[in-house]
Amino acid sequence: MSTGQDTNTESLPKAGYLLLLALSIFWGLNWPFMKIILSELPLWWFRASCVFVGGGALLAISAASGNRITFQLRELPAIAFCALFSFMGWHILSAHGVSLMPAGRAVIIAFTMPVWAALFSSMLLGERFNLSKVMGLVLGVAGLVVLIGDDVVALQKAPLGAAFMLAAAISWGFGTVLFKRGNWSLSVASNVAWQLILSGVPMVIMAMLLEPFPDLTQVSAKTYGALLYLYGFPMIFCQWAYFKTVRLFPASIAAAGILMVPVIGVFSSSVILSEPVGLQEIAALVLICAALVCVLVIPELMRARARSNAG
C-alpha cells in the first residue's frame, strides 16, 4: 500500500523502525501460538472470537483517530464480499492449514499471498504483469515445490494442510484486489474493521452448527496465555501498527518489513514448538522471501525512482 509520499529515508522517525520491527515480530510469533490454541479450542469458535476482537478494537481505534466509522448501506454487499475472501476465507482456511501441518511450514506458504495478489491485480485491475512480478510468481511456486514436493509424491498428510494454506493465501490475495477495486467512502481502517466484524457473523453461525461451545474451564493456562497474546498483539496492536507504519514509511520500506514475518514465524515455531528446520525449509523460505522482494519491494522502488525523475 503506497502512502503517496516521496519520503527521504534519512528523515524518517527512528521510533517508526522500532514499530516496524515490533509489528514483524508479533505477526511472526502469531503462528506457533495459533498452533497451541488450536490444539485445545475448536477452530470456528476461535477464529470468530479473533475477528470480533480485532474488528471491534480497530473500529474503536479508527473512531479515536477521527475517522468516520459508519458505512453507506449501498456499500454493505461489497464490504461483505471483500470480507468473505480477505478475512473469512483467510482466517478459516489458514487455521485448518496450521492445524494439519507444522506452523513454520504453514507461515512460509501463507506468505505467498502477495504473489497471488499481484497475479489477480493483473487479471482484474489491468495492472501490468512485468518482469519482477513474473519472477515473483516463479520464485513463489518454486518455494512451494521445494517445501511440499516430497510430501505430495508420498501422499502424506501434510499436502492437505498445505492445500488449505495455499487456498488461504490465494483467498487473501483475491480479497486484497477486490478491496483495491472498490470505490469506498470509509477510511481503510474503518473498512477493514467492518470486514472483520462482518466475517465473524457467518463464522459464529458455522460454529454453532459444527462445533460445541468450548468448555473454557478445561482450557490450559498455556492456551489462555497464547489466546491473550493473539488478541492483544496480532489482532489489536498489529492492526493499528500496520496502518501507522504505512503512514510513516514509503511503501517499499513497509513492504520490506513484511519479509521478516515468515522468517520469524519459522524460527519461533522451531523454538516454541520444537519443529525441525532443515535445508528444505530454509530453501523454501529463501525462495518465498525473494518472491516477496520481486512483487512488493522492487516495483515500489521503481515507482519511487520514476517519481523522482519526473520531479
305 pLDDT tier (thresholds 50, 70, 90): confident
Q: Helix-strand-coil percent breakdown of the chain, rounded to 5? A: 80, 0, 20
Least confident of 20-29, 103-112, 234-243: 234-243
Task: DSSP letter for 163, please.
Answer: H
pTM of the model: 0.85
- Most confidently modeled of 188-192, 240-244, 248-252, 298-302? 188-192
pLDDT of residue 153: 56
Residue 274 in contact with residue 222, Cβ under 8 Å? no
Q: Is the dihedral of CA 21, 176, 191, 253 positive or negative?
A: positive
Whether the per-residue pLDDT at 188 is higher than 90: the answer is: no
Output phi, psi for 3, to 5 deg: -85, -15
240 pLDDT tier (thresholds 50, 70, 90): confident
Q: Which cell numbers hold the place of 152?
A: 505430495
Crossing angle for the helix pair 103-110 and 90-100, nearest 10 degrees? 140
What are the residues whose beta carbons fall under 8 Å from the beta carbon of 104, sequence distance 6 or more?
Answer: 31, 32, 265, 266, 267, 269, 270, 273, 275, 277, 281
| Closest of 203, 172, 156 to residue 109, by C-alpha | 172
Q: How many residues does the chain have?
A: 311
Q: Which amino acid would we find at residue 71? A: F
pLDDT of residue 1: 37
303 pLDDT tier (thresholds 50, 70, 90): confident
- Most confidently modeled of 134-143, 221-230, 233-242? 221-230
pLDDT of residue 151: 59
156 pLDDT tier (thresholds 50, 70, 90): low
Say what percent of the chain tops pLDDT 90: 53
Q: What is the mean pLDDT of residues 184-211?
A: 94
pLDDT of residue 6: 41
Q: Which residue has the cell 495492472?
A: 127
| Closest of 100, 109, 56, 99 to residue 266, by C-alpha | 109
